[in-house]
Amino acid sequence: MQQKMKVDFKVGQGDQFIEMQPGTAIEIPPDDESSSDEDKSSKSTSRAIFLVLLFNVFLIVAAIPVYLYFRTANELLKQRVLDFLIVGGAFIGIPVLYCMGDLSEGRPNFYYI
């Protein structure tokens, strides 16, 4: 089943534009039905696992130079950086938690501290 969509703007990238008149219909080709939903879900799951592992490797690799630097830094610098991290985390964390709202709403068995 093909869908039609009406547009009234220019479409394209760089110097290649297609000008469409108001009311022009574009036919959207149907999704490729040869790949099943299981293939898509397994690909997205494996990609998510890979990205989480890659992020963890990045955190470990980034922590090594920071650790070596702080071993040589004086106590005043260590305290100022720690204060900066705490305040920065609060500026990010409080609005994020506020936007998330009550996560237990509608879930009687969901508990968090």
The pLDDT of residue 79: 93
pLDDT of residue 91: 96
pTM, to two decimals: 0.43
d(CA 26, CA 24): 7
SS3 1: coil
Q: First CA to last CA across the chain, in angstroms?
A: 49
Which sequence spans correspond to the domains of the chain? 39-97
- Which residues share a beta bridge with 17? 12
Least confident window among 31-35, 37-41, 65-69: 31-35
Helix (H), strand (E) at residue 25? strand 24-28
Sign of the dihedral defined by the CA atoms of residues 80, 86, 87, 88, in that order? positive
